[in-house]
Amino acid sequence: MMYRPLSEEEYRDLASRILYEDNHLLVVNKKVGEIVQGDKTSDEPLTETYKAFIAQRDVKPGQVFMGLPHRLDRPVSGIVVLAKTSKSLERLNAMFRDGDVKKVYWALVCREPSEKERLLEGMLWRNEKQNKSYICRPGAVRKDAKLAKLIYRYIDKTERYFLLEVELLTGRHHQIRCQLADMGCPIKGDLKYGAPRSNPDGGISLHARRITFTHPVKKEPLTIEAPVPASWKGVR
């Protein structure tokens, strides 16, 4: 199979965003605006881009395997784990499904939370037409609602925004965006959930910062961290 040739600039950029790699895994730092798998747009997903990268780097004439065990929304940046073998993909799928992967995000929010640390827990339901999630209000019963839990911790503040670390305890659609907005702290740039203005890059200031799991083949503990985008002024 022939993959598209990468320019020298694109090749260097893709190489610089590799956070971890071995024969089984490839962990990369996704940019805002990139999609991780194909959708209704004609944009190339990250899986295909890194297939082309590996084919070019390793001079592989045949097909490159690249499996995707989890998702990261288009306007979000940060860690994406890719599987380079079917064995690692199968095991990673099970680990993500069973909650054996610890995911920590950083979020810049528009308002300081009233508490420095808190467990947020509620029932979320997804409006498919709007591609948006909502919290069920007391007394409201929906069969399609699912329990959503996260813990946030206040870390720091910039000139105009507040930095929170968020540990996901469940993995629901737009969970962090919805639950932080519901407590009055929408994420910077997230117009859909109440932010007053958009970000110049069209994304939101939510970043998959750190991931911890057991290597699916080597059975060794792994913790991987991704630097925040350069646009996060005052945050490192």
Could you tell me which of 147, 149, 151 has the C-alpha nearest to residue 123?
Answer: 147
Q: How many residues does the chain have?
A: 236
Residue 222 CA from chain centroid, whole number: 17
The strand pairing partners of 30, in sequence order, are 78
Could you tell me which of 174, 147, 168 has the C-alpha nearest to residue 211?
Answer: 168
Kindly name the residue from 22, 39, 58, 73 that is annotated as catalytic.
73
Instruction: List CB contacts of 139: < 8 A, sequence separation 6 or more.
Output: none
> Alpha-carbon Rg of the chain, whole angstroms?
18
190 is catalytic: no
> One-letter amino acid identity for 13?
D
Tokens of 99: 């909650």
Q: Which burial class, exposed, middle or buried, applies to 63 when counting CB atoms under 10 A from its CB (0-12, 13-18, 19+)?
A: exposed
Q: Which burial class, exposed, middle or buried, applies to 196 when counting CB atoms under 10 A from its CB (0-12, 13-18, 19+)?
A: exposed
Alpha carbons 91 and 236: distance in angstroms, whole number: 33
Catalytically annotated residues:
73
